Amino acid sequence: MALSLTRINLAPSSRALASGLPVSAVNHALKGIQAGGHGSGHAADEHGHNGPRKDAIPSWVARQSGSMHVSRAVPRSTGIYQPRYFSTSARSLRETTSIPDFTPYLAKSPNTNRSLQYFMVGSMGLLAASGAKSTVSDILSNMAASADVLALAKVEVEMSAIPEGKNLIVKWRGKPVFIRHRTADEIEEANKVDIKTLRDPQADDDRVQRPEWLVMLGVCTHLGCVPLGQAGDYGGWFCPCHGSHYDISGRIRRGPAPLNLEVPAYTFNDDEEKLVIG
């Protein structure tokens, strides 16, 4: 079965004459010719008896050439369409390409805005310093100890609650603290010891602020055990874990412990008769 191909040329949707005048404008001109009115080209006062050619641009278009710019657009050739003319206002073209003049706003001298520049730089520096200070303050406040930890930072003990010759154990920062109200005989015994014979030489006066009050951490310096009070060979403290003996001043006298019992920081509040640890 053989197929036959036939080429069909469809009429264009918009036609133009060889001169570029649209078909619609020609039809309008033809209607004017038939009516014999203004713009037809056949009125005696316009173009004479014969009138203009049908494919020429009417005279009313030529009269507007002072304010109209005619440009020729050549589309891609298809063999069907003809070149057309488009009109654009020349005044609008000049307005779109105009550049504003900012010369009146320019500084007359480089020193004109220098004060403003210094003010802006100083203001920004002040704001930056304020923000940095606030940030550092917030960080430090978050890293600070809480209220319950600060409450344990110091411990106050009523001195009148401890009779002479007795011990008191209090908890400070999670550690036991021995408080001994020593008698005159105990003070004399502590001072008679020859410190040269001690493993950790230390005089009794260097370990106390007041001779009658002895304050020490109740932690054995060997392995951290808690010694027993009023025990041992020297009438002081004894650690039953490994056999360390401490005298009435808390100094190591026998056993594996290398150092004396530690003395914490403390003060006396005579107005309230209190001993403040920490």
Domain that holds residue 80: 23-96
Domain assignment of residue 11, yes or no: no
- As a whole number of angstroms, the distance between CA 49 and CA 123 comes to 86
Cβ 74 vs Cβ 86: under 8 Å? no
Domain assignment of residue 273, yes or no: yes
**CATH code of 224's domain:** 2.102.10.10
Domain assignment of residue 240, yes or no: yes
Q: What is the pLDDT of residues 29-73, one digit of tens each?
A: 444 444 444 444 444 444 444 555 555 555 555 444 444 444 444
Among 96, 119, 140, the domain boundary falls at: 96
Domain assignment of residue 126, yes or no: no
Among 48, 63, 96, the domain boundary falls at: 96
- Give the total number of structural domains in the chain: 2
Same domain assignment for residues 199 and 271: yes
Cβ 218 vs Cβ 226: under 8 Å? yes
Q: What is the pLDDT of residues 74-110, one digit of tens each?
A: 545 555 555 555 555 555 555 566 788 888 887 777 7
Same domain assignment for residues 62 and 160: no
Domain assignment of residue 1, yes or no: no
Longest CA span, the chain: 155
Q: Which of 42, 181, 242, 245 is catalytic?
A: 242
Catalytic: 222? no
pTM higher than the cut 0.85: no
Domain assignment of residue 213, yes or no: yes
